[in-house]
Chain A
Amino acid sequence: MAIDLQQHRSTGQADPIPAAVHLRPAVRSGIEERFGASDPEPGLELTRNPRVARLVRNRKFQFLLILPNQIVFWTVIFVGLAGTAVPGLNFGAAITWYVWFCLVFVMMVVVGRAWCAMCPFGGFAEWVQRRTFWQRTQKVLGLGRKFPEPLARLGFLIPVASFLLLTWIEEFFNIAGPGNPADTSWMVVGIVSSALIFFLVFERRTFCRYVCPLSTLIGTVGSMGSVAGFRTKDREVCLSCQTKDCMRGGNDGYGCPWYTWPGSADSNLSCGLCSECFKGCSEGNVGLFLQKPLTSVIVPRRRRADVAWGIAILWGLVVFQQFNATNVYASMDSWLNKYLLVPHYPDPVDYVGIIAAVTILTAGLVWLIAKALGRNDAVPTGPTNFVDRKSRFRNFFVPMAYGLIPVVGADYFARQLPKFFKHSARVVPAVAHIAGFGSAKSSIYGFHILSDGWIVVVQVLVIVAGTAAAAWATWRIAGRELVPVSRNALAVRLTTLGVVLAFGALASVLYVLMHAAS
């Protein structure tokens, strides 16, 4: 259609400012190398469907995702505090520990940060921060500070630390057992209030990006997911975009709360699927893309050391959680507690010690591989910051850690399965209990979906599936990234594959041992 935009530019009341602006040309070199592999297929864009577009553009979209979870979690808090002390009959404890954790895991593996889009903690705090449930407001509540630079430089490591802390608290007070349901409530209250504090002190979703205990776990395990997230449809449009509404906030959407630019995202790691950029972009240049499973594990060109160390530490934690069910651990823990005057399991020293040991052993193993197979001349000089610095060790460690994501994820998932298979049915009497009936004597209360033996079988199968995925991912990653920095292509591919298989085997064996111990 011949619509003459140019004529008006020249005959209209031309704003003289553009004539004085001479922006430097944007750097466009290396785009294909940088984004070629990670850019999703245009065919896998969901908002091409007008109904989807309409839904996602609607400002109530995220509100409606958050609302049901919000209701459930306030119920959890309330019922946890006021309801029965029998954990299995208390809706708060039952839904949280028998069902919720498993569901979140499934969402991560399938989608990515789907939970973040509907999370009631951040959601609630964000409502307060924005002074609205769904509208685009211009004035936020709170101080709007920037997260201190030295801490922000740690990237995704602070969430790992807070996850370790939360897990220790949860183990120490036996919250997730589940134990006393009131403890579950207090834990949730604790998370909501810290979220609220962070949302009121700092700008955007600083809490989610830099603090939330679940953030690194969801981000890394989520990168197996098949939703690439909200990304640019045409990078050239973004490069010449003069407004960057997706980052600064436009008429209809906030600036990305997660500090992600759709124009350069190469994985779904830090897209909270909030859809603000989609709403905000005045060029209509943002789409919601699907991708093949594991894409965000295998192809991102920029690997981050904080993520790699995060994965290693999360691996340490899950191994600890398996190991702590063994008799060896039990005697060690009580021995330590006696000397350190800690009343009971878990002793913080062995907790941190074991996690650190596993992390360091993992890193050490990679260091040996790097020493044996790495090429010294393959260390480019470059950035000096923690996230991006390069070394021979990092040449191996960072990509290999990404490759381990599926095993680590599977391990976390498998650990949740016994509670799900044994007790998830209890949610039914627990709901009934709120209404005044439903008891521990009901047949549903005692109903186990699977017997203990079968559960171990399923756990091992999950680990096998995770290991297979990790093996595939690692094989690809090794081919793309390790071969060029190694002395021997085949050796490095086989060795890294071996490491993955060994990790998978370790996890499986531990499940069998756990079963034996109980």
Chain B
Amino acid sequence: MAIAMTEERSAGTGRPSVRVLADRCAGCQECVLRCPTGALGMDTDRWVATADDERCVGCRQCVRTCPFSAIVVEGPAMVAPRVSGTTAHPESVLADISEVRQGFTDWEAALAEAQRCLACPDPTCVRGCPAHNDIPAFVAAIRDRDLAGAHEVLQRTSVLADVCSRVCNQAAQCEGACTWSLAGEAPVAIGQLERFVTDHAPVPPPVRGPDADVSVGVVGAGPAAIGAAWSLIEAGASVTVYEKDPVPSGLLGWGIPDFTLPQAVAQRPWRQLEAAGVELRCDAEVDADGIERLLTEHDAVIVAAGASIPVRPPIPGADLDGVTDATTFLKTGQAALEAEGGRDRWLAAMGFTPGVHGGSAGHVLVLGAGNTAMDVARTARRLGLDATCVDWLDRRFALARPDELDEAWREGVGVRFSRTVTRLEGDAKRVRRAYLARTVQPSADRMPKVQRGEQETLAVDLVVMAMGYRVDPAIAGALPGTPVRRQAAGLPDRRWMASGVLANPASEFAFHNPVGQLALGREVGLQTASLPVRERVWVIGDTLTGPATVVEAMAQGRRAASAIMAGRPSRPGKGRAGPRRALVCYASVGGRTAGVAHKVAEELTAKGLAVRVLPIDRVGREELAATDLLVVGSWVEGLVVAKVGPARAARAWLDGLPRLGGVPAAVFCTYEIDPRATLDVMAKALESRGARVVASSALRRGGDDVAAIALARRTLAGARDEVAAAGVLNGS
């Protein structure tokens, strides 16, 4: 029996070859729909996929998306070598604050790189980008030499294209998720292409929309606030921003050194926002009480206060002189580099005598090797100091951008992974020595373990803690439910699974980051940003998720802004309408509960609301954010006496609910014999998330329709009463 195993395998040289496993291919077309080159088709007679080697470029998207692993691709990928922009590597970086990475300087390079993009039908890069920029579309615009078009595409999702393209860790975001990276090839240089657009055509300023009679107060002026203010002003809201520092931009200003993000770029957003009419109040710190005050002045408040408290590990000797934190170091160090003669003054102020250690003024030990630590160390080099970063993570699981790590090395920064500082010692109160122990970290998801035994000693003159930041507990305390963990619970969205971005997490080009999982985690933050944590209060950026990235914060700001503009909250005393949008969701198994849900929805629709009816497993944060009124129904599970309550699926769903920020809600259940405490359990769960339960109903079999209509009416009346109690009711 001749078995077809003789098909040519072209591993090594030549073209990629695709084989469909005829026995197992079910003809679902998941691969066909997504093949960028159209190499896959269907044999409709057998209803299995067919492949055309001539058109395949070996991107392996089909392999990642086939639910039955019925397709195999072998052989090399057909992709041109990556074209990169220029990077400056001067002999010495002393006092040099010019930008290190310079991007594509000419069209030729940019066009060559743009050609490498496959314009994937289901672009995984878009899922990898925290803002979900439509990457294939803007890259296509570059190919058409249409920079205005590229900006138009980018501005649909991002207002910081010039900033993000410089500061994003693309390897863990867009580029790490590019299909080429997932296939083990060098990804499209998305960041540099994005930067090319902004370098060669200015970012268009926001255009103030027609007045929408919504006033929003924004606390903070960092990237999250920029994203929010931009969207709000474009939607016609009036926006007032309260910033505690004397200048806006937050982290963009002082946190990221000029050699990565030049001043002019960092200041661009605020220049444009102020010009468009955003009112900026600097030196205006807002504390927990301040939020209450703002709530009386504005229809909505967005808290984007950032995470500003440096994490200080409890190391013996950490209170010595000469131990400082990254914020202080970067703020003062940057200012010193920018000012004429500032460097010498700074060195003297910090107690250094130039030239004691050969050419260098002294040795800075940076605790941490993340991006902030790199910034500190590289700033130290520019100030004329030696710098060593120490991180207890294994090099393989490092948190810094790989290119940044590489640049730091070239600039003479010492980076020691798998080490931790156990003790600091000094003389005359100034720190002089650090003791380092080895650590072992077997995998990315395990904490490193400190090894006992011999310790290394390092002579130091200054120690900078750059181990991250946390949110000011005073603010966090006033914002229930924050910070949220950026970790997706349960089964990932199957549209994400279908795209293949969750497959193959260990590409060397993504520096072994599980890019898909990271992106899904970021999605939690993004979706949560659109839900108020309490009535009329939205929290975004680092205050919401703990320290994250510029692009995430900006994207969250945009989400919160559009949630506000869709929900139209209003401050007390200002007339407002009752709920306009309702969401009826249900857990149903035989269809009866679903029937009641539809009946409730029908009645609400008749009353003029825009209503969605969905089974609970399809209701996520996005759906919850888009409603002014929530109705939840479940069938009653359990034996007659034991374990009676809402259906298990409903309980799990209720337990997983995010903060609902004061949305009026109703609960109902359908039962046969005795619902016991079902409604109570449901109502408590909703109330614990900040919803206000205004009506409830237990429906016994028979008469469902009548009861459903009554419930809908009571719910609406209850919700309107709430509104009336809070202010003046318009319209009805």
Contacts and interface: CB of A to CB of B under 8 A. Distances in A.
A135 B30 CA distance: 27
A245 B68 contact: no
B27 A242 contact: no
B490 A138 contact: yes
Contacts of A11: 566, 626
A20 B610 contact: no
Nearest to B621: A13
B605 A1 contact: yes
Contact of A8 (B559, B563, B612): B612
A383 B605 contact: no
B530 A153 contact: no
A404 interface: no
B213 interface: no
Interface in A1-44: 1-5, 7-8, 11-17, 19-27, 29-31, 33-35
B42 interface: yes
B598 interface: yes
Nearest to A245: B494
B406 interface: no
Contact of B625 (A12, A245, A249): A12
B566 A1 contact: no
Contact of A27 (B32, B491, B610): B32
A249 B615 CA distance: 17
Given A1-B602, A21-B123, A248-B67, A16 B47 contact: no
Contact of B605 (A2, A22, A245, A251): A2
A306 interface: yes
Contacts of B43: 382-383
B28 A244 contact: yes
Contacts of B495: 17, 242-243
B22 interface: yes
A7 B29 CA distance: 30
Given A13-B563, A34-B45, A264-B26, A26 B612 contact: no
Interface stretch (A178-186, A254-262, A491-499): A254-262
Contact of A23 (B7, B121, B562, B618): B121
Interface in B35-78: 35, 38, 41-48, 50, 67-70, 72
Interface centre among B28, B137, B156, B601 (most CB of A within 10 A): B28
Contact of A34 (B4, B19, B44, B69): B44
A149 B3 CA distance: 12
Contact of A19 (B134, B563, B598): B134
A251 B46 contact: no
A371 interface: no
A518 interface: no
A12 B28 contact: no
Given A54-B589, A247-B67, A263-B28, A389 B123 contact: no
Contact of A13 (B50, B68, B622): B622
B3 A386 contact: yes
A242 B498 contact: yes
A238 B28 CA distance: 8
B491 A251 contact: yes
B26 A247 contact: yes
B136 interface: yes
B46 A383 contact: yes
A24 B34 contact: yes
Contacts of B590: 50-51, 53-54
Given A17-B126, A244-B28, A263-B26, A30 B44 contact: yes
Contacts of B684: none
A309 interface: yes
Contact of A386 (B4, B491, B589, B610): B4
Given A23-B121, A33-B44, 12 more contacts: A12-B622, A13-B622, A16-B131, A19-B134, A150-B3, A248-B67, A249-B491, A260-B26, A261-B27, A301-B47, A386-B1, A386-B3
Smallest CB-CB A-B distances: 5 pairs: A30-B44, A261-B26, A247-B67, A243-B494, A12-B626
